[in-house]
Amino acid sequence: MLAAVLKDFDKLVLEDVPVPDPGIGEAVVRIRSCGFCATDYKAIKGIRRNVRFPVIPGHEPAGVVAKAGPGVRQFKEGDEVILQPSGYCGACAHCRAGNTHYCEHAFTTGGDGPDVTWNGSFAEYTRTLAACLFHKPAGVPFDSAALTEPLSGAWKGVIHYSRMQVGDDAVVIGVGGIGLLCLMVAGAAGAGRLIAVDTSDYALRNALALGATHAVNPSREDAKTRVYEIIPGGPDLVVEAAGPIEAVRLMADLRRRGTRWNVFGITTHETFELDGGRTHFLEGRMDASFGTTPWAMTAAIRLMERGVVDPGRIISHRFPLAEIHKAIEVMGGPERNKVIINP
């Protein structure tokens, strides 16, 4: 099969590799679509260093079951499926509590996080556990289905953890791919005023097209002043989906009493300060969210199946696997949103 193999930082090679065989409880999936996540790009370019070589990246896939291994009863050859990239044992204390993304024996297909990495889906076929598969609804295109994992992360952060309520005034800081999904989930949940904050006018135009009621560019105006002009009483919910530490600091500065805030985008080990007394008397709730769970994946599939959120609306570029190096160039540019690879 054709696969994009990362041999070293900035050395992604297209080559023929053997098609994997499924073991007990596993399946091999013919990949139809795979999202190109920023973490994939960071691994390829050496921005993210926790990578073991060689590896096939790509952890946002959907496809068709090509072969089911021994003991697999829920899926058969020809089933259209969505893959959860984070594998789990199902037996440790975290898994039994429903926190499969904390699994003590976790692995990931093509992504980052756990120490154990299986080959991902910038390839024609991917091997995974059958427990990580979900049936794709017939009416959901493969390109949209490939974005189930990031959509599930947005649902998990905005709804499950931060308890978005109908009528809440919400601010999303950083409206790239994941920020737009957080914004769309918040809008679908009944946000009142929904403010997108970003230094990119391209990103802000996308946000307004996808449901933001207001756009704020901190490079041209004081973000806190503008947010409080729009929401005089202050936001009910602030989601940081940007990554830079400055976005986290802005999120903390936007709080008023009772504000819920979610540290969603930053993954680097940087610090920010909090006034202990002010934080105490504001009585807000801080959450963070990473990864996904079967519950969140199921919720995201329901959103797509019922037409509540279509993640396909954030796709800006599509490339065949043979042109993945063109996709890498686009990923490094300023005017792109979600990039899809079609093996």
Answer whether residue 13 shows pLDDT above 80.
yes
Answer whether residue 49 shows pLDDT above 90.
no
Q: Using CA atoms in the order 180, 30, 101, 304, what is the torsion angle rounded to 10 degrees?
A: 40
Beta-carbon contacts of residue 146 (< 8 Å; ≥ 6 apart)? 32, 33, 34, 35, 60, 61, 62, 82, 340
Does one domain contain both 85 and 174? no
Distance CA 343, CA 329 (A): 18
pLDDT, tens only, 103-132: 999 999 998 778 899 999 999 999 999 999
Q: What is the pLDDT of residue 189?
A: 97
**Structural domain boundaries, residue 232:** 163-288
DSSP state of 19: P
pLDDT, tens only, 168-206: 999 999 999 999 999 999 999 999 999 999 999 999 999
Does one domain contain both 171 and 237? yes
Q: What is the pLDDT of residue 242?
A: 95
| CATH number for the domain harbouring residue 35 | 3.90.180.10
Beta-carbon contacts of residue 163 (< 8 Å; ≥ 6 apart)? 260
Q: What is the pLDDT of residue 112?
A: 78
Tokens matching residue 116: 């154990």
Answer whether residue 27 shows pLDDT above 90.
yes
| CATH number for the domain harbouring residue 228 | 3.40.50.720
Neighbours of 281 (CB within 10 A): 10
Does one domain contain both 98 and 208? no
> What is the pLDDT confidence band of residue 156, given thresholds at 50, 70 and 90?
very high
Neighbours of 36 (CB within 10 A): 28
Does one domain contain both 119 and 16? yes
pLDDT, tens only, 285-306: 999 999 999 999 999 999 999 9
